[in-house]
Structure 1
């Protein structure tokens, strides 16, 4: 059992542990030990490129884990798109590292574990960004793990040659995440974590990943609860309209990449594919935040390959072919203001509707969400993109899991600071992350922002610890977070004043669910 916070044993500045993976040296600060840059798999280089990760053999020497390992090769950015995101410093194809923050000070302690998967459109980001620093959350009594995984073409390229070689293709990044979860099962006890109490969480592409692993038999038993922030595996078409997760379309996309580099899409030419410079593959995988342009043909996202994702996720969910877990999930009110920009006009609106829904269904969507005197193309596109790219799939997941008897808690992050309004973002995608991790926000509950951060982080920690986000002790302004019911659909609203309400826009969500997935039942 965890020790009392006030009676913690002080550790040396650089504590050492000997987990099964090999001895590691970390850093002790503010009551938390951190171990950064721990390799959880062999470097996916040369002949290991475009293959499932191989476990790292145990090492015998003491490994310094004071600094993060390389981030995955990438160019551009979703949250930050600046000149600095296009350089290669600190990035490498050798990127399969994870980081651990733990409050444990003796080998007997056992804390619940939170494994977090970062977002970034499966093309950018890392588990070492300052926003995801696990110190504050670990101080509340959980072991926090963040991971890197392969991105872009290096993580999600699907080709006929690769499929013939391995019987699967296109999900190397998801396989990395599964290998990291296996590492947690094998090693986390040495860090004071409980392998029987693992919550898997993620935001954006991380949420797509978590929901994908909730449907993957390869991840069964590797986690016991899930936190899904802003996204689901069902909405791939909103970001990768040219392949939509379909295996054949994804392999055709991969064949086009092979031809671009003068390589045949065959097993015989795989050695050529594995010798294309990694930074070049990162360049063709480049993404930016603005979706108000025609997406590139090269959209590297997870693939329904028959192995990692055995079937179309919509069918898997409908047939209850899932990994049962308690679930906390939700969305930000203005998710799409990060992606859909102010220059959206009627032509861009129509183009995006055609790309997301297909030419036959786009007409019905535009009739349901008409551009008129009361609704500009920008307003309609923001509305449609938030619903289709983020909310619809999460509601589908919440309904199914709740109907199967799992505890489900649904939220809406609705805090809208003035500074975001000035730059046109409102309560945009990813804006909840600083509140949950507690980084970059005051910690003393002295302001509305810091108090909201305390409430949200505590709610997440409560769920990680007990499967229920509600507080046992009362506090000022407390509101009960109800379980999600498939009929009532009550959700928790996080703003400077907490509230409950029924899920909004149910008619629009039901319409889009039917258009996108052919589901007749109402949201």
Structure 2
């Protein structure tokens, strides 16, 4: 993207100034909420003066990938995409199309909100493999979200329950706060309140699954996409309860000879250093850094919410990479990951809803890693040029087709231009993504 200058938007929260590019506008590092440690986020409603949205927002404290690690080499070789770390990390980046990308028969842009992956412990919304420009060029506003992770996003203690009534699901709360903030500013950004979709990959996809099962997003979204991050009936662990997670925390603090007051007031860097060990204690009790049943934000398991039809009546698009869908040497379609998505589509059909199923099957050039978990991200965001891999024209064409399909889904709820029917018992269609 070529920088043209600066651009101001007048919003109900105040004036915000971002960057004007040749193809789009970008508002970077927009604070969508504030939160003290282990408290519910408070959505931002106004600010003083002109908000400077020219720099990417901070990310949560997290593991730093090295070039000796597979995903370090894959996604984190370019230090220019690094951003500072902080416990104060509730920021988003908003990429807005220019007027020439608005169709003559439309008045407002659809919006897609992206939740990154990283196992609920890593990641941020402006990594090298993510970009809003390809969607802006197709008339879609793209929002990329940072949120609290690991021990900052999921901690449990009875003192928190005494104070707030619930505890633990802070990452889920952040995801919902980001959605609410986008809805709050939607008119000022040229967005369409009735066409707001959410999508995510890996833990981000699981986060989207949890969102649609939460009563707090009722009536707020028009579509949802799960990319290699959907655990209906095959979760590595069943969703635990807040009460069980509290027991795990009690055992952890006792083992570490820490009081709640000490860990609550601990410097952020020192607290993060406890994150992996704390997770081990949670997993002993069958919970982790994913959302738990707290009786408020999550009132039942995702499995129960889906099976009982208590999810939004919206279209869904979901799939995985063949590498993360495969069991040993079998076919991807034989694996439980893929089969859970087939089952979900059948449940949707029984409830009068639509599900579009896909399989990303492009063996990545440059090594023998195949279509590994997260391989599709370079294609879905049109960022092949940021990768070290020797992509060619066919890869570029595949990326364009995938972005077209995602953008069409955000606009209409159907990826029709790909001749992609919903998955049903009568039409068991899976869209295969590969070079031609």
Question: Which TM-score band applies after superposition, normalised by the shorter structure?
Answer: 0.7 to 0.9
Structure 2 residue matching 1:26: 3-state secondary structure: strand
**Does 2:33 align with 1:41?**
yes
Once the two structures are superposed, residues 101-133 of structure 1 have per-residue CA deviations (whole angstroms, 9 ceiling, x without a partner) of: 011449995100010100100000001112112
Counterparts of 1:58-137 in structure 2, within 5 Å, are 58-77=46-65, 80-81=71-72, 90-105=84-99, 110-137=108-135
The Cα shift of 1:417 comes to 2.9
Q: Which runs of 5+ in 2 are unaligned?
A: none
The Cα shift of 1:89 comes to 7.0
**Does 2:272 align with 1:282?**
yes
**Does 2:415 align with 1:469?**
yes
Once the two structures are superposed, residues 119-155 of structure 1 have per-residue CA deviations (whole angstroms, 9 ceiling, x without a partner) of: 1000000011121121122111100001011000110
Residue 400 of structure 1 corresponds to 347
Distance 1:323-1:187 versus aligned 2 partners, 3 A rule: same
Cα distance in 2 for residues equivalent to 1:11 and 1:493: 37
Cα distance in 2 for residues equivalent to 1:487 and 1:250: 43
The Cα shift of 1:407 comes to 2.2
* Alignment equivalent of 1:493, drawn from 415, 432, 435: 432
TM-score, normalising length from structure 1?
0.72
The Cα shift of 1:486 comes to 3.6
Counterparts of 1:56-455 in structure 2, within 5 Å, are 56-77=44-65, 80-81=71-72, 90-105=84-99, 110-234=108-232, 237-238=235-236, 241=237, 244-264=239-259, 269=260, 271-286=261-276, 299-335=288-324, 379=329, 387-388=335-336, 390-421=337-368, 425-441=369-385, 447-455=393-401
Distance 1:190-1:296 versus aligned 2 partners, 3 A rule: same
Question: Please, which moves more after superposition, 164-173 or 450-459?
Answer: 164-173
Aligned-residue Cα RMSD (Å) equals 3.2
CA contact (8 A) 1:32 1:135 kept: yes
CA contact (8 A) 2:41 2:174 kept: yes
Distance 1:434-1:50 versus aligned 2 partners, 3 A rule: same
**Does 2:12 align with 1:20?**
yes
The Cα shift of 1:480 comes to 2.0
Cα distance in 2 for residues equivalent to 1:89 and 1:29: 21
CA contact (8 A) 2:44 2:181 kept: no
CA contact (8 A) 1:204 1:231 kept: yes
Distance 1:284-1:109 versus aligned 2 partners, 3 A rule: farther
CA contact (8 A) 1:332 1:428 kept: yes
The Cα shift of 1:194 comes to 1.1
Structure 2 residue matching 1:208: 3-state secondary structure: helix
CA contact (8 A) 1:236 1:245 kept: no
Once the two structures are superposed, residues 415-462 of structure 1 have per-residue CA deviations (whole angstroms, 9 ceiling, x without a partner) of: 1134241xxx211111111111101249xx971111111111101111
* Alignment equivalent of 1:52, drawn from 24, 30, 40: 40
Structure 2 residue matching 1:92: 3-state secondary structure: coil
Structure 2 residue matching 1:73: 3-state secondary structure: coil
CA contact (8 A) 1:198 1:222 kept: yes
Distance 1:460-1:279 versus aligned 2 partners, 3 A rule: same
Cα distance in 1 for residues equivalent to 2:246 and 2:185: 36
Cα distance in 2 for residues equivalent to 1:395 and 1:179: 31
Once the two structures are superposed, residues 21-49 of structure 1 have per-residue CA deviations (whole angstroms, 9 ceiling, x without a partner) of: 2211111112200000000011x2xxx21
The Cα shift of 1:490 comes to 1.6
Once the two structures are superposed, residues 59-84 of structure 1 have per-residue CA deviations (whole angstroms, 9 ceiling, x without a partner) of: 121111111111111124597348x8
Structure 2 residue matching 1:163: 3-state secondary structure: helix
CA contact (8 A) 2:322 2:360 kept: yes
Cα distance in 2 for residues equivalent to 1:183 and 1:469: 27
Q: Which runs of 5+ in 1 are unaligned?
A: 1-9, 288-292, 338-368, 370-377, 472-478, 498-523
Cα distance in 1 for residues equivalent to 2:231 and 2:161: 21
Cα distance in 1 for residues equivalent to 2:312 and 2:250: 33
Cα distance in 1 for residues equivalent to 2:341 and 2:269: 34
CA contact (8 A) 2:4 2:21 kept: no
The alignment of Structure 1 onto Structure 2 pairs a total of residues equal to: 415
Cα distance in 2 for residues equivalent to 1:402 and 1:319: 13
The structure with the largest alpha-carbon Rg is: 1
CA contact (8 A) 1:26 1:66 kept: yes
Counterparts of 1:509-520 in structure 2, within 5 Å, are none
CA contact (8 A) 2:364 2:375 kept: no
Once the two structures are superposed, residues 340-396 of structure 1 have per-residue CA deviations (whole angstroms, 9 ceiling, x without a partner) of: xxxxxxxxxxxxxxxxxxxxxxxxxxxxx9xxxxxxxx658x979x934x3344333
Distance 1:11-1:133 versus aligned 2 partners, 3 A rule: closer
